Amino acid sequence: MTITRTMRRGMVAAVAFTATALLVTGCSAGGSGAAAGDGAGDIDVWALQGQDSENAALQAAVDGFNGSQSDVTAKLRLIASDTYTTTITSTPKDQLPDVLQIDGPTLASYVYNGKLTPISDHVSQETIDNATAGSIAEGTADGELYALAQFDSAMGLYGNKAMLDAAGVTYPTSIDTAWTAEEFETALSALSGSSPSGKALDLNEAGLAGEWGTYAFAPFVWSAGGNLLEDNTATGALDSAASVDALTQVAGWKPFVDSNADSKVFPDGRVALGIGGHWNYPTYSEALGDDLLVMPLPDFGTGAKAGAGSLTWGIGSGTQDGKAAGAFMDYLLNDESVTAMTQANGAPPATKSAFDADPLYKEGGPLALFGEQLANACASDDITDTCVAVYRPITAGYPTVTSQFSSALSAIWGGADPAKALGDAATSIDQNFADNDGYQQ
Amino acid sequence: MSANNRARRTAAAFQNYAVLIVAALLMFAPIYYLLIGSLKPSSEVLNGFAGFLPTDLSLDNYVAVFRALSSDASGYFWQFMANSLLISIVVVVGGLLVNSLAGYAFSRLEWVGRDKVFILIILLVIVPFESVAIPLMALMQGQRDTLLVQMLPFIANAFSVFLFYTFFLNLPKSVEEAAHLDGLGAWGTFFRIVVPNAKPVFATVAILTFLSSWGQYLWPSLVTSDPAVRPLPLEMGVFSDREPADWGQVFAFGTLLVLPVLVVFLIFQRYFVQSVAGSAVKG
C-alpha cells in the first residue's frame, strides 16, 4: 500500500529544512503585501504536477476560466511534487504566484511566514459557504481563512470479505460498529492463522517514518483519548498514558503485518486487511470486486478516528491583483472544476454541492463510509466522541510535530519503549516551540 | 613447471575469474535492471527475479515520460535535459580552468601565506553543502530562476583543487624548469607543458564534477521554480511521487537521466582509470 499525492509525503519535511531559509530571507507574520487590484491582467498559478488526469483537469479549469471572461488570463505552472514545498518556501513573497496550491498541514507555516493572504476579501461568499467543514477547518489559521480545497482525502481499513469469511471473522459494517482494539487483535490472530503467508495486515510499514505515519496513526492516538498537542504543548498530550497505550497496542500488531515489499500484498489476496486511503480504492476494487470491504479504523476507546486533509488553494501575499486571484479561485471551486478534478483522482470533493452529488461517497456509494467520516470532521484541538475524520494540527510548528511523531512511531515499531520514545518526542517538540516563541504571530 | 603447479595456477586463475565475474555481474545488474525495467509494463517491473527477464518490451514508458513533460505548464523534457547539460558543461569547463590554476598556484608558485591559504581551502572539503545552502541562497536571491545561479557556486571546488594540487606535486619539476629556460612564462608553462601532461587528473576532475553537477537536486529546488531553467533531476518526482507509482516510467526517466553520465564516463574512463591507478586520487 502506498501513499498518494492527495495525502502528501515529504512535503512537511521539506518545510522543516527550507523554513530555515525564511529566517535568512526574512519572515513576517501574515501576508500584508497583497493588493486588491482591478481584476484584470495576467495571474500566475502554481500547482503540483500530479497524475496526467489531474494535470489535464487542472489545465482544463485554467483554460475554462480564461475562456469564460476576457479580463484575466491565468497562467499555470506545474512543479514536481517532491520539490514543490521546497520551492514555495524558498521563493520570496514578492515572487510567489497570485494563486498557489498548498499542502494542508503546511498552511500554518506559510501563514506564519507571511506567504499567504486571507482570502475572504477576494473569494465570493458563495464559494466560502459551499466549502465543506473540513475544507474550512484545514484552510483556517489564527482565525482567518487562508485557503479552500477542491478535494479532501479519506482513509480507513480495507478488508477482503472472502478471506474474512473463510477465517470466520465477523467485521464492522458502520463507524459505530468499529472493532475495538482487542477485537481487532483477535481478528488479526484468526486471519493470520488461516492465511497462507501467516500474515493478516498491510499498514504500509515502509511509510511509518514519514507523513503517512502521522496521517494514518495519529488517529489511533486520538481515538485512545490522547493527542499530539494540547494548548500548543506536546508534553502531557503526546506522552500521555492514552497516547502511549495507543502506540503500544499498534506495535503489538507487528507479528501479523506483511511488509508489502511489492506493493501488491492486499490486492493480491495475501493479507485480509489493509490500512489505506481513497487513492487505493481503484486498484483494490478492480482486484477484489465485490469482496472489497471498506471499514473504519479500530476504536481505541473514544470512537473510531481517521486521518483527513489534502491539497488546498490559497492566494500569495505578494499578489497585486487579489480580485483576479479570487475570481480564479471561484472558478476553480465551482461544481464543474471540482467534479472534473475528483473524477480524475477519485478524491472526496471538498465542496458541499459536489460532495453531495458524488456517487462514490454519497449514501449507498462504495466509499460512503469514508464520506460519513468526512461529514463528521473536526480539528485536532477540538476532538469529540462523534467526530471521526480529524485534521492534523494547524500550527506553524507542524513540521516538527509530524517529524517527531513519525520518528517515535517508527522507533516504537522497531522495538523502542513507547513511553520513552513519545516522551523524547514531546520534549523535542516543546523545545522547538520554545525556541520559536510558540510560533505566535 | 610441473603438472601440479599448472593445475594449481589454473585453479587459482579460475577462482579469480569467478570472483571477478560475480563482482562484475553485481555491478552491472542494477544498470541492466534499470534498462529492462524501463522497457516493461509497470506491473512487471518490481516482480522479483522475473523483473530481470526481457519480456513484453516496448518504448511506451519513454513515450509517457516525454508526454508528461510536454507543455508550457510542466515544461519540456528536452528543455530540462538541455538545462542540465548546459549547467554541467559550464561547471565542468569552468571548474577545470579555475581549480587547476589554483592547484598549480599552490603546488608550484611561491607566495606569502600559500600554505595557510591552502589549509583553509582544504578545510572546506569537510563542510557539507547543506550547511551553507541557506546562506548561499540568501546571498544569491537576486539571481533566482536563472541558469547562472546554478553554475556559479559550483565552479570553484576545494576537492578539485586538492586533486590538481597532489597531481602537480608529482609532476617532475625539471620539465617546467626546461620550459622556463626556453623562455616560457608561468602561463605558457602551465597551458603548454603542465596541462598536456595532466590529462588523467583533468579527466578525473571532469568526471567527478560532471557527476555532482548533473545530480544536483537540493540547490536547484531552492533557487528555481521556472521550468525554463530547471534541471532534469528535479522532474524525477513527477514520476516517483505518483499514486500508484508507475515504475516503468520511473525507470525510463532514470535511464534517460543516467545516459549522459555513462557517455561522459565512457569518453574519459581511460584517463580516469589511469588517474585512479596513479597518484592523483591516492595523493
At B100-133, the pLDDT tens digits run 999 999 998 889 999 999 999 999 999 999 999 9
| pLDDT of A130 | 97
Digit-coded pLDDT (tens) for B246-261? 889 999 999 999 998 8
Residues A365/A201/A152/A98 CA torsion (nearest 10 deg):
-150
A10 and B CB contact within 8 Å: yes
**HSE on the CB side for A419, CA within 13 Å?**
1
Q: What CA–CA distance (Å, rounded) separates A131 from B229?
A: 37
* pLDDT tens readout for residues A220-255: 999 999 999 999 999 999 999 999 999 999 999 999
Tell me phi and psi for residue A204, to 5 degrees.
55, 60
Is residue B21 over pLDDT 90? yes
Residue pLDDT, tens place only, B191-224 = 999 999 999 899 999 999 999 999 999 999 999 9
Does B242 sit within 8 Å of A86, measured CB to CB?
Answer: no
A312-333 burial: b if 16+ Cβ within 10 Å, else e: bbbbbbbbbbbbbbbbbbbbbb
Chosen for mutation from B221, B234, B236, B246 (greatest number of chain A CBs closer than 10 Å) is B221
How many angstroms separate the Cα of B277 from the Cα of each of A277, B266, B269, B273? 54, 17, 12, 6
**Pick from B250, B160, B169, B255: nearest CA to B208:** B160
Cβ within 8 Å, pair B67-A52: yes
Say whether residue A56 is in contact with chain B using an 8 A CB cutoff: no
Summarize pLDDT for A50-98 with one digit per residue, the tens: 888 899 999 999 999 999 999 999 999 999 988 998 899 999 999 999 9
Yes or no, beta carbons of A80 and B234 under 8 Å apart:
yes
Q: How confident is the model at residue B283 (pLDDT cuts 50, 70, 90)?
A: very low
Locate the domains of chain B by residue range. 1-58, 68-282
Q: Give the domain ranges of chain A.
A: 5-153+309-358, 155-306+395-439
Q: pLDDT tier at A307 (50, 70, 90 boundaries)? A: very high
Instruction: Residue B121: name the closest of B62, B172, B164 by CA.
Output: B164
Distances (CA, A) of A48 to A9, A317, B62, B241: 12, 19, 22, 11
Rounded CA-CA distance B16/B19 in Å is 5
pTM: 0.84
Whether the CB of A180 is below 8 Å from some CB of chain B: the reply is: no
Enumerate residues 6+ apart whose C-beta is below 8 A from A155.
A7, A215, A216, A275, A276, A277, A278, A297, A306, A307, A308, A370
Which pLDDT value is given to residue B278? 59
**Domain covering A5-153+309-358 in this structure, CATH number:** 3.40.190.10
- pLDDT at residue A195, as a whole number: 87
User: Does the structure show a pLDDT above 70 at A4?
Assistant: no
The Cβ of residue B209 has, within 10 Å, a number of other Cβ atoms equal to 23
B-interface mutation test, from A82, A212, A268, most B Cβ less than 10 A away? A82
- Span A29-35, mean pLDDT? 61
The whole-number pLDDT of residue B272 equals 74
The whole-number pLDDT of residue A258 equals 94
pLDDT at position A2, please? 41
What CA–CA distance (Å, rounded) separates A399 from A433?
11
Summary mean pLDDT of chain A: 91
| Domain covering B68-282: architecture | Orthogonal Bundle (1.10)
B46/A262 CB distance under 8 A: yes
Please answer whether residues A433 and A439 qualify as being in contact, where contact means their C-beta atoms are separated by less than 8 angstroms.
yes
The answer, for A95 touching chain B at a CB cutoff of 8 Å, is yes
Q: Which pLDDT band, with edges at 50, 70 and 90, does A14 fall under?
A: low
Q: What is the CATH number of domain A155-306+395-439?
A: 3.40.190.10
Task: List the single residue in A with minimal CA-CA distance to B240.
Answer: A82
Q: What are phi and psi of A379, to 5 degrees?
A: -85, 160
Q: How many CB pairs under 8 A join A and B?
A: 92
CB contact under 8 A, A21 and B137: yes
Cβ B138 vs Cβ A26: under 8 Å:
no
User: Does residue A399 have a cis peptide bond before it, meaning omega lies within 30 degrees of 0?
Assistant: no
Name the nearest CA neighbour of A389 among A179, A175, A184, A238: A175
Contact B241 A262 (CB under 8 A): no
pLDDT digits (tens, 9 = 90+) for A158-182: 999 999 999 999 999 999 999 999 9
Which positions in chain B have a beta carbon within 8 angstroms of at least one beta carbon in chain A? 46-48, 67-68, 71, 73-75, 134-135, 137-138, 141, 144-145, 217, 221-227, 234-238, 240-245
Percentage above 90 pLDDT, chain A:
81
Identity of residue A51? Q
